Structure 1
């Protein structure tokens, strides 16, 4: 009798466990994502769409993510807060947009005179960068992951040539992040403007110059019609966007869906870098062949030296005032010294030594 009862209990428990597991496997989890970009925005928006599609497919439809673009939520620079408070579960934005709110977010997009995309990805994944980002974002109920890289960005579109440091005085320029602080130290007036307002701001003389990304996105924006001087970059050698996730919401997902979401973000991030690289190469060819009036310029050595000096001074100031900032800055600088030796030997060395043979 007892043996029969015990056997019946085990069978009943097995049925319940199996039913519960089946129910969990069939349950659909729905998340909301806010992006800083407008609908169907190329490259940046493509990264989001790719991530959402991969998460859906890898989860066999159990993980559904709804995307709201900036035209819907009306807060392109409010993604950090919206995800923090749980209005949205995920965000896609740029970390340095939130410098004014959480200063140490600044360092995880890119830094002037810093690492290239491949070097920075190595830092994130194998040099302690992700752990430092966890430390900064974790205080705000958030966890952030690399969300796609543009590669080296161009230095911007200017109405007038920059021939000296004096030409930066009172220059009103759209340039976010640390680079904006650097130019401000040299007398410029940096402003941050949503992507959808960049062209009209330049056209209406609200700003004198702007940097956006590079050929991958600049050509379609039409900046060359207003500002013919296109300067080479110094300020954003590896601009990384971010997927920002509400930590509590992430914890509510089953372990397999958490893993799937992270893999989808990781893959979408790398895909965006490759797409951006390919688009820049194609659009650069179009620019040089179809728009000969565009004048590609390099900032004079005097100007770059002044910019680098201002950059180093601000870094020292920030490190002296904030132990966590000092920790991040040191980590980036130490890793750059380590990895750049190999970059010089490998990629730069290869290009330099074979250039004459491949042209």
Structure 2
């Protein structure tokens, strides 16, 4: 089968799955466990998103509404924005120990526990389209690999959505010297990548990001892509949106305490798991649609411009990226297996 045929087949399968996911969202009605109890549950949910972030509303509040509707109000989610109860990097452990019933994190915040986290949070310059990542997770089995490893820590892992991570900068990057002179807010594997590539990358919590950019502590940052930058007010200071994406990945994850999940009736457990699987498709599709809308708005109202990296800068970044891929494969047997699966997939797509 030719590459073009394989790509068309992969896209057809992705589109079919996406259609099914969206159809399920539109057709779903409340379904609760058929038990005689009228018991109710309230889960504390710690997010890594500030309440100002678009994903806090579009992902977390959506999930709250869906679960409450489909359990006739018997499962309530008590939402807390970033930093309200725990630091973002402490949330995985809190859910693992059952202190929290649910949380949202970036995979990179669980790197000490999950050896696949670096791959999950997005290997730089690996994928070129969102559908490719969705297919890797759902059709090639990467999501199941993540769930198996997280289960060893008492956590049920569910990727919220797939989307690109793209930088915004105060001044355009027009040369390699421009890039290496940058101070960039980053995190996790991308922070290591940008640092090794030559920029000065540092982690800054979302709640401090605007002031850091405004005061010149950093020259650029990534917080999701267009929607993230717009919702956090970053375009007020940084008018250049950089492409291509640093990565495309399942950068946001919903984690659930296995203990809390196991205390629900069987039917309600299925409702939770089905809602989380559905969320992946609904939010992945919705996110891409809103990216287009918000970019057009930012360009018109705030004068945002697309800064496409020069090819020589892209080539040098790709060299650094390949080295990072190799390091991620060394983290565990699971990581090595996932990396081989990824490379085979990228070869099939004609990228390697």
Q: Give the TM-score normalised by the residue count of structure 1.
A: 0.80
Length, aligned pairs only: 317
C-alpha distance in 2, partners of 1:157/1:169?
15
> In the TM superposition, what is the alpha-carbon distance from 1:71 to its structure 2 partner?
4.8
- Does residue 1:96 correspond to 2:108, yes or no? yes
Residue in structure 1 matched with residue 256 of structure 2 by the alignment:
245
- Does residue 1:331 correspond to 2:331, yes or no? no
Answer 1 or 2: which has greater helix percent: 1
1:52 to 58, 64, 67: 64
> In the TM superposition, what is the alpha-carbon distance from 1:170 to its structure 2 partner?
5.2
Provide Cα deviations, 1:299-331, integer angstroms capped at 9, x if missing partner: 111111111111111222332453222112112
Residue in structure 2 matched with residue 23 of structure 1 by the alignment:
36
C-alpha distance in 2, partners of 1:219/1:152?
15
Provide Cα deviations, 1:151-176, integer angstroms capped at 9, x if missing partner: 2332x122333233333335321122
C-alpha distance in 1, partners of 2:244/2:250?
12
Provide Cα deviations, 1:168-206, integer angstroms capped at 9, x if missing partner: 335321122322222211222222222222110101111
RMSD: 2.4
Gaps (5+ residues) in structure 2? 1-33
Contact preservation (8 Å) 1:39, 1:71: no
Q: Which has the larger radius of gyration?
A: 1
Describe the SS at the equivalent of 1:242.
strand
1:183 to 194, 200, 204: 194
Q: Structure 1 stretch 218-227 or stretch 77-86: which is displaced more?
A: 218-227
Contact preservation (8 Å) 2:53, 2:228: no
> In the TM superposition, what is the alpha-carbon distance from 1:112 to its structure 2 partner?
1.8
Provide Cα deviations, 1:217-240, integer angstroms capped at 9, x if missing partner: 322433233233321133122344
Provide Cα deviations, 1:70-94, integer angstroms capped at 9, x if missing partner: 2521423321121112110111121
Describe the SS at the equivalent of 1:92.
strand
Contact preservation (8 Å) 1:37, 1:45: no
Residue in structure 2 matched with residue 196 of structure 1 by the alignment:
207
2:84 to 72, 82, 103: 72
Gaps (5+ residues) in structure 1? 1-20, 344-359
Alignment of 1:64-143 (within 5 A): 64-99=76-111, 102-115=114-127, 116-143=129-156
Contact preservation (8 Å) 1:47, 1:271: no
2:305 to 295, 298, 306: 295
User: Residues 101 and 163 of structure 1: is their aligned pair in 2 closer, same or farther, counting only changes over 3 Å?
Assistant: farther
C-alpha distance in 1, partners of 2:320/2:271?
43
> In the TM superposition, what is the alpha-carbon distance from 1:244 to its structure 2 partner?
0.7
Alignment of 1:142-291 (within 5 A): 142-149=155-162, 151-154=163-166, 156-169=167-180, 171-291=182-302
> In the TM superposition, what is the alpha-carbon distance from 1:146 to its structure 2 partner?
1.3
C-alpha distance in 1, partners of 2:343/2:168?
29
Q: Give the TM-score normalised by the residue count of structure 2.
A: 0.82
Describe the SS at the equivalent of 2:165.
coil
C-alpha distance in 2, partners of 1:70/1:327?
33
2:47 to 35, 39, 56: 35
> In the TM superposition, what is the alpha-carbon distance from 1:58 to its structure 2 partner?
1.5
Residue in structure 1 matched with residue 31 of structure 2 by the alignment:
none
Describe the SS at the equivalent of 1:43.
helix
Contact preservation (8 Å) 2:240, 2:306: yes
User: Residues 144 and 72 of structure 1: is their aligned pair in 2 closer, same or farther, counting only changes over 3 Å?
Assistant: same
